Structure 1
Amino acid sequence: MKYTQLGRTGLKVSRLVLGTMNFGPQTDEATSHAIMDTALDAGVNFFDTANTYGGGPSTSKGRTEEILGSWFAKGGGRRDKTVLATKVYGNTNDDNSPAWPNHDKLSALNIRRSVDASLKRLGTDRIDLYQFHHIDRNTPVDEIWQAVDVLVQQGKVLYVGSSNFPGWKIAQANEAAARRGSYGLVSEQCLYNLAERSAELEVIPAAQEYGLGVIPWSPLHGGLLGGALRKEREGGGGERTSAGRAAQELARPAVRERVRAYEDLLAEHGLDAGEVALAWLLTRPGVTGPIVGPRTEEQLASALRAVGLTLSEELLASLDEVFPGPGAAPEAFAW
């Protein structure tokens, strides 16, 4: 496994991030534990979850954190070897009914309540990276940092990151933190992959300017970049490619043609589509590591192979031709 610093921090994290969203709703506890053991044995030390993960037909929101907690409880140094990231913002009601006042978003009260609830489910005394899952337009940024400063002083939180923040919000948050003498955001978790590169306009430049590590989510764009057309032909696409983002994208002729060109290009090189999509992200400036959310150990094994995959300059240029980026801002949209 390869490692890098998380943004401007001294924290060393693996270049692959284990996403746990499927633990509970899609993957049972025993299999989830096996996947985490395999990942840790392979050197993956960066695990990502959220307080809302786990909701499903037979599971409740927060169940994913509980599964991580029961895994930590097995001992063997699991907790100390893991850089643990979770999130705050969302409504934790399973029926998605309106949250009780102050039971969602980023008020100081909800941040304090949510941290304690996550720590209890996770069975730990600290969260290594506490991430704001979305921007809160109603809570003053100084209030958010006041709450965070208390948590850092208490030792409940070590670092703070953002998720789904626009570039201007990253700037606003870290300028406010600097005025207070707070350390500020150290990471941004954003939608970023070969097929969706709009983060290159302003989010990633802002992250680099303020020293945030970029953690891409949905690196395969909901399965679109994981050999979707091949699986469709073979009748083994599964739920990911037959519904959701991949299905919606493949219904667009222009996207379907790009995916076809992508798969044909990689077939010529004898490469796996999903592994190349992950390896491509590892070549991008500012990227710490993509989040992979395996439902099985086989899927994890494929993701691990991507870390050791080297893409030639020729292939990278060809990938840019198939999935061109938006260009730099403001030149991409102004004279």
Structure 2
Amino acid sequence: MKYRTIGTDPAHRREVSVLALGAMLFGSLTDEKTSFALLDRYVEAGGNFIDTSDNYAFWTDGGQGGHSENVLGRWRRSRGVGDEIVIATKLGARPLAPGTGFVDNPEGLSAKVIREAAEASRERLGVDKLDLLYAHIDDYSVSQQETVEGFGALAAEGTVGLLGASNQAMWRVERARALAAAAGLPGYEVLQYQHSHLRPRFDVPSDLFPDGSLGHAGPELFGYLRAEPALTLVAYSPLLAGAYVREDKPLPADYDHPGTPARLAELRSVAREAGATVNQVVLSWQIGGELPVIPLAGASSLAQLEENLAAVDLELTADQRARLDAVH
């Protein structure tokens, strides 16, 4: 396994594996026995960066989530896992009532919610401190000052380490970080957005965000990473839920544009040359790229996990990288 540092404060920064394991469906569509086996194998391979959220996976049973955090908590206790494993979780997008969702009825990012949701996540995970806590989605109903101070209070108390933001406009992320800096509070240091080799359109709704494509990493975010080298991007859905390799998984609608066939063709060409799968090329391309990107990939079987883990040791040539980067 290879590792990368996230965070800048010596008291909170962590060395995490360059491939993060997504636990979104653990405890719901992926049963507990399989979830434990995947977690065990990931850790055995040197992985130490696991991602979840307080709302995973509410859509599987029309509830409010908590399945994934609960399973991770039981796994931690049964295996005697301590702070050697970095578990990131999120708040802000948990539905307030069963049968609703994060678009129409989210918990939000008020100071009260931040405190109560973080406490509930710590209880489900069985930890005294959350290693990394994200604002899952933005909340325009409260002031950013309140949100910044809410997260900052938890960090000051030592119940949260690193802070992150997901699925927010870059100007909102920058404003929140500026507010935190002005107040002498910790700010967002890890950004989590959807990012893969294929490029989406930004002028059409995404599958996850019907009123906009804020979940996608784009040129503005990449420019921000270049300007702020202390930030790290955790790239969710790098494999597009299997759409690269499965005929029964069509590409999302926002990838339906003239540039997609050429990028797919180059990916497949490099995969043949490297003796690797297309999925492995995508992950390797992200891991070894110019910018600090950590792919976040889920798995529902040990075979999928082994394929993903093998990507860590896949070294693309300079020519292959140049070709993958050059395709428009």
Taking structure 1 as the reference length, the TM-score comes to 0.83
Amino acid of the residue matched to residue 54 of structure 2? Answer: N
Structure-1 residue corresponding to 2:73: 69
Distance 1:257 1:295 in 2: 29
Work out whether residues 279 and 311 of structure 1, in 8 Å CA contact, stay in contact via their aligned partners in 2.
yes
Distance 1:80 1:251 in 2: 43
Distance 1:321 1:46 in 2: 31
- Gaps of at least 5 residues in structure 1 are 325-335
Q: What secondary structure sits across from 1:203 in the alignment?
A: helix
- Gaps of at least 5 residues in structure 2 are 201-215
Work out whether 1:129 is the aligned partner of 2:132. Answer: yes
Q: 1:209 to 1:261 in 2, by over 3 A?
A: closer
Work out whether residues 3 and 15 of structure 2, in 8 Å CA contact, stay in contact via their aligned partners in 1.
yes
After alignment, is 27-36 or 261-270 more displaced?
261-270
Work out whether residues 6 and 288 of structure 1, in 8 Å CA contact, stay in contact via their aligned partners in 2.
no
Work out whether 1:85 is the aligned partner of 2:102. Answer: no
Amino acid of the residue matched to residue 189 of structure 2? Answer: V
Structure-2 residue corresponding to 1:38: 41
Structure-1 residue corresponding to 2:117: 114
Q: 1:27: Cα distance to partner?
A: 0.7
Distance 2:67 2:283 in 1: 27
Q: 1:16 to 1:57 in 2, by over 3 A?
A: closer
Q: 1:206 to 1:96 in 2, by over 3 A?
A: same
Q: 1:63 to 1:294 in 2, by over 3 A?
A: same
Q: 1:259: Cα distance to partner?
A: 2.4
Q: 1:98 to 1:46 in 2, by over 3 A?
A: closer
Aligned with residue 305 of structure 1, among 300, 307, 310: 310
Deviations 1:167-202 (A, max 9, x none): 212211111111000121110001111102773511
Amino acid of the residue matched to residue 48 of structure 1? Answer: D
Total equivalences in the alignment? 307
Work out whether residues 3 and 18 of structure 2, in 8 Å CA contact, stay in contact via their aligned partners in 1.
yes
Structure-1 residue corresponding to 2:282: 277
Q: What secondary structure sits across from 1:173 in the alignment?
A: helix
Q: 1:154 to 1:307 in 2, by over 3 A?
A: same
Work out whether 1:255 is the aligned partner of 2:260. Answer: yes
Amino acid of the residue matched to residue 81 of structure 1? Answer: E
In our comparison, the structure showing a higher alpha carbon Rg is 1
Distance 1:146 1:250 in 2: 38
Structure-2 residue corresponding to 1:223: 242
Matched ranges for 1:163-242 at <5 A: 163-196=166-199, 199-210=217-228, 211-225=230-244, 227-228=245-246, 232=247, 237=248, 241-242=249-250
Q: What secondary structure sits across from 2:190 in the alignment?
A: strand
Structure-2 residue corresponding to 1:332: none
Distance 1:188 1:207 in 2: 10
Amino acid of the residue matched to residue 204 of structure 1? Answer: F
Distance 2:241 2:276 in 1: 19
Q: What secondary structure sits across from 2:217 in the alignment?
A: helix
Work out whether residues 5 and 288 of structure 1, in 8 Å CA contact, stay in contact via their aligned partners in 2.
no
Work out whether residues 165 and 203 of structure 1, in 8 Å CA contact, stay in contact via their aligned partners in 2.
no
Distance 2:181 2:33 in 1: 44
Deviations 1:82-112 (A, max 9, x none): 11100011133331169999x7110111111
Q: 1:13: Cα distance to partner?
A: 0.9
Structure-2 residue corresponding to 1:330: none
Q: 1:272 to 1:82 in 2, by over 3 A?
A: same
Structure-2 residue corresponding to 1:156: 159
Work out whether 1:5 is the aligned partner of 2:5. Answer: yes
Amino acid of the residue matched to residue 123 of structure 1? Answer: G
Amino acid of the residue matched to residue 295 of structure 1? Answer: S
Deviations 1:208-267 (A, max 9, x none): 434211111111123233x24xxx3xxxx4xxx15xxx2646866763464245324422
Quote the sequence identity (%): 31
Q: 1:116 to 1:288 in 2, by over 3 A?
A: same
Amino acid of the residue matched to residue 2 of structure 1? Answer: K
Distance 1:175 1:272 in 2: 42
Structure-2 residue corresponding to 1:25: 28
Taking structure 2 as the reference length, the TM-score comes to 0.85
Work out whether residues 148 and 180 of structure 2, in 8 Å CA contact, stay in contact via their aligned partners in 1.
yes
After alignment, is 113-122 or 264-273 more displaced?
264-273
Q: 1:59 to 1:99 in 2, by over 3 A?
A: closer
Q: 1:122: Cα distance to partner?
A: 1.2
